[in-house]
Structure 1
């Protein structure tokens, strides 16, 4: 059953599905590109890092599982559910991951998430990648609002959000489960204005 809207959708269905997932450029020689099979070991190694494990309870344990995730990412793009990109330096070395999910074309809202490998931390990689993805999503695709959340204990993610123009809107109490229990989550958002 199709939902009847009193207003047209912010983004027309088929806007993403009818295209290949793009490669996006970011400042400092960064490229955001779709994941490739050759990235599986780098992706898997990220989830061995203590900091990434602290904030991500859903994590792959084998290279085969990573490849399944990559396949799901491709399907999500085709179904207009989301997109996941490898953050790379000049299309080579994988530095991290950035993603859009929870795509709501009717209201023009999506959620963003990211992580950066230990060797690339402190270089502004996440901030530059999030800024590039945000500009593309808001101004090229036409989303109106992008949001992200992170544990109130994750100060690094809070700094990335703020530096990328995502205003802190509030705290969602006990909104996520991590390995050490429930966490309050900061909610940040950036709107097209």
Structure 2
């Protein structure tokens, strides 16, 4: 059944490229995951906050190795992409990426988390802005979303710092260990004014999303 509109992004837009490393600022950059990051990933998913909002844990290092290895195939399938957020010494501090990529709509959802020891430095907001620059300016995405439980106040703050307008609430749209949660939907489109200069300098006590 043919579409009556042209896809916003053509098939092969991503898999025709190698996943890039992205500069964030003088302190941070984003790079593809590697097998050596597995121990950090396992430790990250041992954090009660990351477990709470991502609704999963990693019980063995082998599971963390599988987690880091999945992203090459998901990039090739043009369905998702993830980067390790690293400091100047290439130490991983967190994760940022795009999920539920739709080439037809030119859309995707943002995901991010930060290790407990690295929180309070706006790492999530800074990294999200770098991904937005790449997605909108280099690839040509039309829209990016951030969605999270209304109970995840830190993620809501990061969304606001990153220029994602709160567009509405979906009732009982996500289930966590303690039951159903309402779901905030934030959105940013390519024509929205760049907001990197407006990112707040105030610390964020926890930076993670569902």
Structure-2 separation of matches of 1:110 and 1:133: 11
1:34 maps to which residue? 32
52-61 vs 129-138, greater mean Cα deviation = 52-61
Aligned residues: 191
Which of 7, 14, 17 does residue 9 from structure 1 map onto?
Answer: 7
Which of 73, 76, 90 does residue 75 from structure 1 map onto?
Answer: 73
1:16 touches 1:78 (CA, 8 Å); kept in 2? yes
2:63 maps to which residue? 65
Structure-1 separation of matches of 2:63 and 2:131: 26
2:37 touches 2:68 (CA, 8 Å); kept in 1? no
Task: For residue 28 of structure 1, report the CA deviation from its aligned partner.
Answer: 4.1
Task: For residue 58 of structure 1, report the CA deviation from its aligned partner.
Answer: 2.6
Q: Secondary structure at the match of 1:76?
A: helix
Structure-2 separation of matches of 1:27 and 1:154: 26
2:17 maps to which residue? 19
- Report the TM-score, using the length of structure 1 for normalisation: 0.95
- Report the TM-score, using the length of structure 2 for normalisation: 0.88
Which of 155, 160, 163 does residue 161 from structure 2 map onto?
Answer: 163
- How is 1:1-193 mapped onto 2 (pairs within 5 angstroms)? 3-90=1-88, 92-193=90-191
Q: Secondary structure at the match of 2:4?
A: coil
132-141 vs 56-65, greater mean Cα deviation = 56-65
Structure-2 separation of matches of 1:187 and 1:46: 25
Structure 1, unpaired ranges of 5+: none
Please give the per-residue CA displacement for 1:12-47, whole angstroms capped at 9, x wherever unaligned.
Answer: 111110111110111242111111111000010001
Structure-2 separation of matches of 1:42 and 1:74: 19
CA RMSD of aligned residues (A): 1.1
Structure 2, unpaired ranges of 5+: 192-210
Structure-2 separation of matches of 1:173 and 1:71: 34
- Structure 1 outlier segments of 4+, above 2 Å: none
1:33 touches 1:91 (CA, 8 Å); kept in 2? no
